[in-house]
């Protein structure tokens, strides 16, 4: 593969930058993320691709950290590419968080909090990510930086302003950020999907699940084993006067109704015939045999019955089986094979985050600002999307083809092809494109002019 494919891909985003220098800095940063550099931060990128040029280092730092350009339009266009390449009505949107260990207290959103990357409480930033997945591929869709509650105090006002956090920003929990992104996807209508999957940290929040259901989407949410459900929907007593005491101001479950069960207790009560042995896909682990049971239940929501749905129990095989518990709002006629598939659809987000951190430097950023976080994440998403597209084309056994045909394959607008890059393009050699990791060796790269406005 040559640099032409990368240029054709990047050219689609050039109209979102208002200045020629911004397009050049963006391409340079993308080349650095796709390079075989061990550390893909700004200074090593410039040293490797341009040379010892202090002005270039400052220029790229300015472009990423304080550049006057918005990542939103580029992200929306990336979503449209994901839709055109892999979108389908049965697509899955996966929401997950990921931590980025940091030193000091001046990086935007940093705090002592649980860091999944380390598996413990640590000084870190926490991001919330959406990944799209189906049978053909997976790609990042959106992100949010979680800003802990302590950053909204008066004591953090100086840090807030130094990082350039928007004044209107309100505190949001991670599930609230996830729901906000999914809501934006539905409103925007760029990409089709039916399912949303999440781990227990999101599934244990009823408001998150109810929000997904309100969007007319189906969720497959891992939930705590202590989650309570009824096997049959209990009768409700409406507000009003009872036989004794004050009138009821709120509805309540009839006192004669059976008590709800915790999912772990229900799992123990299931007969052996309720369990089915099935094969699921678990990403890098490959196919995996598990036992599953599917039960229609009524979840408890603030002591009242929620809409009826599925409780799904997934048990590993072996002498010490582990059981995972899921709630799902899919209709009663949803096939067990589809429910089985969705219990194994957590791996794309874990794999995408691992690839992005290991291959394109998702966790290599050193900028401290709000803008810097989002600018870096956007370029990391683009680099990963480019590699995923290459993988897909190689797996489809696409033969090398002339540039015009390949450019069309990237959906690049032809009208901007002649003057989008008046400088010579970077020369790239891409090897091992059929599977991750994909290594890109940058032989020559454009040198943007170093100006104050980026």
45-102: pLDDT as tens digits? 999 999 999 999 999 999 999 999 999 999 999 999 999 999 999 999 999 999 999 9
pLDDT of 278 higher than 80: yes
> For residue 144, is it within any domain?
yes
Q: pLDDT over 90 for what percent of the chain?
A: 73
Please report the beta strands in 155-227, taking only residues with DSSP state E, as ranges in sequence order: 195-198, 218-222
> What is the bridge-based pairing of β-strands 323-328 and 309-316?
antiparallel
pLDDT of residue 393: 82
Q: Which of 11, 68, 2, 57 is nearest to 447 (CA)?
A: 57
Domain shared by 38 and 95, yes or no:
yes
Which one of 239-248, 285-294, 430-439 scores highest in mean pLDDT? 285-294
Domain shared by 208 and 330, yes or no:
yes
Tally the domains of the chain.
2
Domain shared by 127 and 224, yes or no:
no
pLDDT of residue 284: 60
| pLDDT band for position 422 (cuts 50, 70, 90) | very low
Domain shared by 151 and 14, yes or no:
yes
Measured distance between the N- and C-terminal CA atoms of the chain, rounded to whole angstroms? 30
Domain shared by 220 and 178, yes or no:
no
Other CB atoms within 10 A of residue 271 CB: 7
DSSP conformational letter for 127: E
| pLDDT band for position 305 (cuts 50, 70, 90) | very high
Domain shared by 164 and 287, yes or no:
no
Give tens-digit pLDDT for 354-407: 999 999 999 998 889 999 999 999 999 999 999 999 888 887 654 443 333 333
Domain shared by 114 and 144, yes or no:
yes
Q: Which of 311, 445, 452 is nearest to 24 (CA)?
A: 445
> For residue 385, is it within any domain?
no
pLDDT of residue 447: 46
Beta-carbon contacts of 424 under 8 Å, excluding residues fewer than 6 positions away, are 444, 446
> For residue 275, is it within any domain?
yes
Q: What range does the domain containing 330 cover?
A: 200-234+258-345
Domain shared by 210 and 192, yes or no:
no
Beta-carbon contacts of 273 under 8 Å, excluding residues fewer than 6 positions away, are none
Domain shared by 277 and 361, yes or no:
no
> For residue 138, is it within any domain?
yes
pLDDT of residue 398: 45
> For residue 280, is it within any domain?
yes
Domain shared by 168 and 52, yes or no:
yes
Please report the beta strands in 321-434, taking only residues with DSSP state E, as ranges in sequence order: 323-328, 427-431
> For residue 440, is it within any domain?
no
DSSP conformational letter for 318: S
Domain shared by 326 and 366, yes or no:
no
b/e per residue 359-397 (b: at least 16 CB within 10 A): bbbbbbbebbbbbbbbbbbbbbbbbbbbbbbbbebbeee
> For residue 435, is it within any domain?
no
Give tens-digit pLDDT for 120-134: 999 999 999 999 999
Q: What is the mean pLDDT of the chain?
A: 86
> For residue 451, is it within any domain?
no
Domain shared by 29 and 60, yes or no:
yes
CA angle 16, 385, 415 (to 5 degrees): 40
> What is the bridge-based pairing of β-strands 218-222 and 195-198?
parallel
């Amino acid at each position: 593969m040559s640099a032409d494919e990368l240029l054709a891909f990047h050219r689609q985003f050039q109209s979102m930058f208002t200045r020629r220098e911004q397009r050049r800095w963006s391409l340079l940063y993308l080349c650095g993320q796709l390079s075989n550099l061990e550390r893909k931060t700004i200074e090593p990128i410039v040293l490797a691709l341009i040379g010892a040029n202090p002005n270039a280092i400052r220029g790229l730092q300015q472009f990423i950290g304080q550049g006057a350009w918005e990542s939103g339009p580029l992200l929306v266009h990336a979503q449209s590419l994901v839709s055109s390449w892999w979108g389908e009505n049965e697509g899955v949107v996966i929401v997950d968080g990921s931590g980025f260990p940091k030193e000091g207290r001046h990086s935007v959103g940093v705090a002592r909090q649980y860091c999944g990357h380390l598996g413990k409480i640590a000084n870190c930033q926490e991001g919330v990510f959406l990944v799209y997945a189906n049978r053909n591929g997976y790609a990042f869709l959106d992100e949010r930086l979680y800003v802990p509650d302590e950053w909204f105090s008066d004591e953090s006002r100086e840090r807030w302003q130094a990082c350039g956090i928007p004044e209107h920003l309100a505190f949001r929990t991670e599930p609230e950020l996830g729901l906000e992104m999914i809501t934006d996807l539905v409103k925007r209508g760029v990409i089709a999907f039916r399912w949303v999957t999440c781990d227990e940290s999101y599934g244990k929040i009823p408001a998150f699940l109810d929000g997904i259901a309100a969007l007319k989407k189906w969720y497959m949410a891992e939930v705590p084993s202590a989650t309570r459900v009824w096997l049959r929907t209990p009768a409700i007593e409406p507000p009003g006067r009872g036989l004794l005491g004050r009138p009821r101001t709120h509805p309540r479950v009839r006192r004669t109704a059976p008590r709800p069960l915790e999912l772990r207790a229900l799992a123990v009560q299931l007969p052996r015939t309720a369990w089915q042995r099935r094969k699921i896909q678990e990403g890098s682990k490959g196919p995996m045999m598990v036992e599953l049971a599917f039960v229609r239940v009524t979840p408890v929501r603030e002591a009242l019955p929620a809409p009826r749905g599925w409780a799904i129990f997934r048990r590993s095989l072996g002498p010490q089986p582990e059981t995972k518990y899921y709630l799902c709002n899919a209709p009663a006629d949803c096939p067990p094979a589809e429910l089985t598939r969705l219990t194994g659809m957590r791996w794309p987000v874990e794999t995408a985050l691992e690839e992005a951190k290991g291959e394109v430097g998702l966790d290599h950023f050193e900028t401290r600002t709000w803008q810097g976080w989002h600018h870096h994440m956007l370029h990391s998403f683009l680099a990963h999307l480019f590699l995923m597209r290459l993988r897909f084309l190689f797996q489809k056994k696409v033969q090398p083809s002339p540039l015009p045909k390949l450019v069309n394959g990237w959906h690049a607008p032809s009208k901007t092809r002649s003057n989008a890059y008046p400088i010579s393009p970077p020369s790239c050699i891409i090897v091992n494109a059929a599977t991750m990791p994909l290594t890109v060796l940058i032989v020559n790269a454009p040198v943007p002019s170093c100006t104050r406005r980026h």
